[in-house]
Amino acid sequence: MTRREAIGAAAAVMMIAGTTGCSIAPGSGESVLAAPASGTAAAGTEAGDGRRGALAALEQLPVKGRAPKTGYARSQFGIAWTDANTVLWGGDSLSTRENILSRDLTDITCKPRSGKTSPPCVVQSGVLQDPYTAKTLNFVRGDKTSPLVPIDHAVSLGDAFQKGAQQLSLAERINLANDPLNLVATTREPNSAKKDSDAASWLPPNKAFRCNYVARQVAVKVRYRLWVTRAEKEAITRVLSSCSRQMLPTEAEEAFRVE
């Protein structure tokens, strides 16, 4: 059972019991802050679940220069965090941001929505172990506090626009902007420092997360038929050389899991 499924099940039980809130116990998840698992598949092969090796997938990405950024606007990727998409959790009546908070936070408290049993709620509070910095932050919903936990695009939309997304349909760009595969809950400092950078110019300060981070970028670029620059490919290769068995993440892979 994934963490998000566990949250949904817990909320459904609490609502049936007539309560007004729910909570998820801490300490039930597996942190991504640890060094990446070595896996059992040889470098460049598939894991037992059919996932591809990140290095092998990287070799299949086209290598080109950046296209001009002329015409780029956030609106090219739809309304921010729109639920009107066809990726995982799209159409569930919660914004993409709410879904990622439910996925990436632990020790969650939530207020069930009237008449809704799934998805469970809008997160009211929780704990973020920021994979980019390895720091812990207590999230509390509020006008001033909610922005302290931004949702980062692993492949920034500006970078994607210059490396193939201009050729995607609007529906595909909306999916790219809301795909959980491409999203990570983090904190303000790394999110602001990264901006539209690719792996050649920015990597997470937390070195233990870098293999997962660049593998996630590769997975997104494979899925949406984007390319990499030569400098970007070299940077990703350097990171993956220390974890050659790293597999591509999936959209359902979470920062924390409930076993």
Is 69 among the domain residues?
yes
What's the pLDDT band for 4 if we cut at 50, 70, 90? low
d(CA 160, CA 220): 10
Is 251 among the domain residues?
no
52 class by beta-carbon count within 10 Å (0-12 exposed, 13-18 middle, 19+ buried): buried
What's the pLDDT band for 2 if we cut at 50, 70, 90? very low
Is 200 among the domain residues?
yes
Q: What is the CA radius of gyration of the chain?
A: 18
pLDDT tens sequence across 180-210? 999 999 999 999 999 999 999 999 999 999 9
17 class by beta-carbon count within 10 Å (0-12 exposed, 13-18 middle, 19+ buried): exposed
pLDDT tens sequence across 36-46? 333 334 445 55
Is 34 among the domain residues?
yes
- The answer on pLDDT for 31 being more than 80 is no
Is 85 among the domain residues?
yes
pLDDT tens sequence across 159-188? 999 999 999 999 999 999 999 999 999 999
DSSP output for 133-149 = T--EEEEE-STTTGGGS
Residue 232, domain extent: 3-240
Is 253 among the domain residues?
no
Is 115 among the domain residues?
yes
Is 249 among the domain residues?
no
Domain count within the chain: 1
**This prediction's pTM:** 0.82
| Percentage with pLDDT > 90 across the chain | 70
